[in-house]
Structure 1
Amino acid sequence: MRYIIIGAGAVGGVIGGRLAEAGHEVVLVARGAHYEALRDGGLRVATPDGTRTHRLPAVRGPEPLGELRADDVLLLAVKTQDSEAALDAWGPRPVAGGGTAAERLPLVCAQNGVDSERLALRRFRNVYGMCVWLPATFVEPGSVSAGGTPLSGILHLGRYPSGTDETAARIGAGLEKTDRFEAPVVPDVMRWKYAKLLANLVNAIEAVAGPLAGEDGLTDEEGLALLRRARAEGEAVLAAARIPYAGEDEQKEARGDKIRFEPLAGSVRGGSSWQSLARGTGTIEADYLNGEIALLGRLHGVPTPVNDTLQRLANTFARERRAVGSMPVAELTRLVDEAVAFLQEV
């Protein structure tokens, strides 16, 4: 198999780098300064077991590759707001032996949120979900880092909307060949992704008000209380929608002590949304995290003022390129309280 990593940022870059270390053929897809850095200097991957530079083929899009190969795996690792553009670009590409990528190749959605799989299934016949538990950072062109050890990540994998097959098993085996990933192939991968969605509700809080865990190891209790409120809304809408998700005990059992985080020199403490703001991309994934909870709430009659507010503020910060983490958590809490009070009045 050849792995084409569409979006070689934090998650895509680390997965691509680890696959290359294990001898797999990898192509990296990136844009702008990141693409130029990959093309000119290779991909630098920093991990607790050392830093390696991988000289891998790098492209901006599918055109330089010409006809795709029948053994290609497309691993989609862009933010969900960029999924449609990527699907439009890669789906129509011809594959050796006939047909298109959308008709013949497996597409793995290695992303936060639960919407990309549905977007992909409109175009691609063979769609796979991946629940990504992988602490990784990308803020500088050409460089990514992953602070997890002894494993870099746990990547539950399965067909979308459900089931498993030989292709999923082969992809999982390829990931586990790295010795740095555990890749359980499961028939209910979306149950794991909805659990991750609940965990990712913190992303907007960290992007707007800063990480909940400081460099001193202390937790911001006010921020943690806000996260509990956002998660409670999420659990309520999933219950109303009758959407199952992996419970806390099941997740802890799956992860165990397999991923211990070791801060790396020069790495940042924030998650994916924090990193988007830090890079000044102008977009953020809040519509597909807190916004997913808001959508389900409207569909099923469950108020979601906490997630509504977090979604709105995260988008404002991204659009106006405000400094990451620049709103005091007390101010963020006040704005959430105002939204809750307004909803109660109307």
Structure 2
Amino acid sequence: MKIAVIGAGAIGGLVGARLALAGQTVTFVVRGANLQAIRAHGIRLVETDGTERVAAQVQATDDYDAAGVQDVVVLAVKAHQVGDVAARVGKLFGPDTVVVTMQNGIPFWYFHRHGGEYEGRSVHSVDPGGDLARLIPPERVLGCVVYPAAELLAPGVIRHIEGNRFPLGELDGSTSERIVRVTAAFEAAGFKSPILDDIRAEIWLKLWGNLSFNPISALAHSTLVDICQHPLARDLAADMMREAESVAARLGISFRVSLERRIAGAEKIGKHKTSMLQDVEAGRGPEIDALVGSVIELARMTGTPTPHIDSAYALVKLLEQTMVEARGGVRLQKAVTA
């Protein structure tokens, strides 16, 4: 298949490299240093055991017209960056092109093909005005939940830290020919990509931890294990998760694991900086609206109180404003002692 990967950060780079190494025709749609590095050297993947592999045959471009029509488009930019590329993604579409969305948090398509009283509603936190759903029609979308951890070591160089699961799902829960094809491609690339009949429930399971651990981590500059082993921080995360569980329940979602098991899973990951903490340290805009703001929007929609989530959201939004005004990030430094 012809597969375009939009974005060559940690996850996009991992997915694109693996798919290319498995024999798919992969084009990265990227810019800047990543574009130059991939054009010159391909994309290098450092696996969890230290083995290095180079996908040398990939293409890289910043021109959507030059990339041409694709069978699959993997949208691997962060949620708040989708708007920057949405107007051009259509240039990659043919009659049957499928879009695999890999954003954390509540996706722009959440209520499309959802059924019930909220069918077709926009989630304004992630799609103000409904532009994303217009430019990237939900009929083309396969939902995807990203579980692997990876990092961008240098332009065009990805290190896979752990995990291989990329569950996929049609928005209406069906098992279509196209999802079978995409799943087969992912599994041939070494990923575990089960087809789920309720992709939204899986999105909530991933989001359950992200909406608590990410903002706490960004505000306290602490890793997952630090949060889970600090009694007050652990209690705060649990309170936020209980509020989110109430919101999800009012939307017909139930969780297949317990709250304590979800926290234990985060603790097991160890000294891992969340993506939001990494963004704050690097001076990038934190992914706060997709991970937290969207949950607050759904809470208001369903009449669910979320005081702990609201507080964390307010503090991260203030931090985001401070970073914009200072044009910088926030990072701990060793104290200088006399």
Q: TM-score, normalised by structure 2?
A: 0.79
Q: How many residues align?
A: 297
1:339 corresponds in structure 2 to: none
CA-based RMSD of the aligned residues comes to 2.8
| Corresponding letter in the other structure for 2:295 | I
Q: Secondary structure at the match of 1:172?
A: helix
1:237 corresponds in structure 2 to: 247
| Per-residue deviation, 1:12 | 1.1
Work out which of the residue numbers 160, 183, 198 in structure 1 matches 2:171: 160
| Corresponding letter in the other structure for 1:229 | D
Q: Secondary structure at the match of 1:5?
A: strand
1:54 corresponds in structure 2 to: 55
1:277 corresponds in structure 2 to: 280
Work out which of the residue numbers 151, 166, 170 in structure 1 matches 2:181: 170
2:210 corresponds in structure 1 to: 200
Q: Secondary structure at the match of 1:108?
A: strand
| Per-residue deviation, 1:90 | 0.9
Give the Cα separation in 2 of the matches to 1:325 and 1:163.
47
Question: Does the CA contact (< 8 Å) of 1:79 and 1:111 recur in 2?
Answer: yes
| Corresponding letter in the other structure for 1:248 | V
Work out which of the residue numbers 136, 139, 143 in structure 1 matches 2:150: 136
| Corresponding letter in the other structure for 1:288 | A
Work out which of the residue numbers 103, 107, 110 in structure 2 matches 1:111: 103
| Per-residue deviation, 1:61 | 4.1
Give the Cα separation in 2 of the matches to 1:324 and 1:189.
36
1:247 corresponds in structure 2 to: 256
| Corresponding letter in the other structure for 1:143 | V
| Corresponding letter in the other structure for 1:247 | R
Q: Are positions 1:314 and 2:326 aligned together? A: no
Give the Cα separation in 1 of the matches to 2:105 and 2:172.
14
Question: Does the CA contact (< 8 Å) of 2:169 and 2:197 recur in 1?
Answer: yes
Question: Does the CA contact (< 8 Å) of 2:105 and 2:291 recur in 1?
Answer: yes
Q: Of Structure 1 and Structure 2, which has the larger fraction of its residues in strand?
A: 1
| Per-residue deviation, 1:325 | 6.5
Distance 1:54 1:307, change over 3 A: same
Work out which of the residue numbers 223, 230, 243 in structure 2 matches 1:211: 223
Give the Cα separation in 1 of the matches to 2:36 and 2:150.
21
Give the Cα separation in 2 of the matches to 1:302 and 1:133.
28
2:195 corresponds in structure 1 to: 185
2:24 corresponds in structure 1 to: 24
Give the Cα separation in 1 of the matches to 2:304 and 2:239.
14
Q: Secondary structure at the match of 1:205?
A: helix
| Per-residue deviation, 1:40 | 3.1
Give the Cα separation in 1 of the matches to 2:13 and 2:3.
12
Q: Are positions 1:41 and 2:48 aligned together? A: no
Q: TM-score, normalised by structure 1?
A: 0.77
Distance 1:161 1:36, change over 3 A: farther
| Per-residue deviation, 1:84 | 2.4
Give the Cα separation in 2 of the matches to 1:19 and 1:233.
38
Give the Cα separation in 1 of the matches to 2:283 and 2:157.
17
Give the Cα separation in 2 of the matches to 1:302 and 1:14.
38
1:333 corresponds in structure 2 to: none
Question: Does the CA contact (< 8 Å) of 1:191 and 1:245 recur in 2?
Answer: yes
1:334 corresponds in structure 2 to: none
Distance 1:39 1:295, change over 3 A: same
Q: Secondary structure at the match of 1:117?
A: coil
Work out which of the residue numbers 301, 304, 310 in structure 2 matches 1:302: 304
| Per-residue deviation, 1:182 | 0.7
| Corresponding letter in the other structure for 1:84 | G
Which has the larger displacement, 75-84 or 299-308? 299-308
Give the Cα separation in 2 of the matches to 1:235 and 1:295.
14
Structure 1 gaps of 5+ residues are 95-99, 327-346
Q: Secondary structure at the match of 2:168?
A: strand
1:330 corresponds in structure 2 to: none
Q: Secondary structure at the match of 2:196?
A: coil
Distance 1:269 1:236, change over 3 A: same
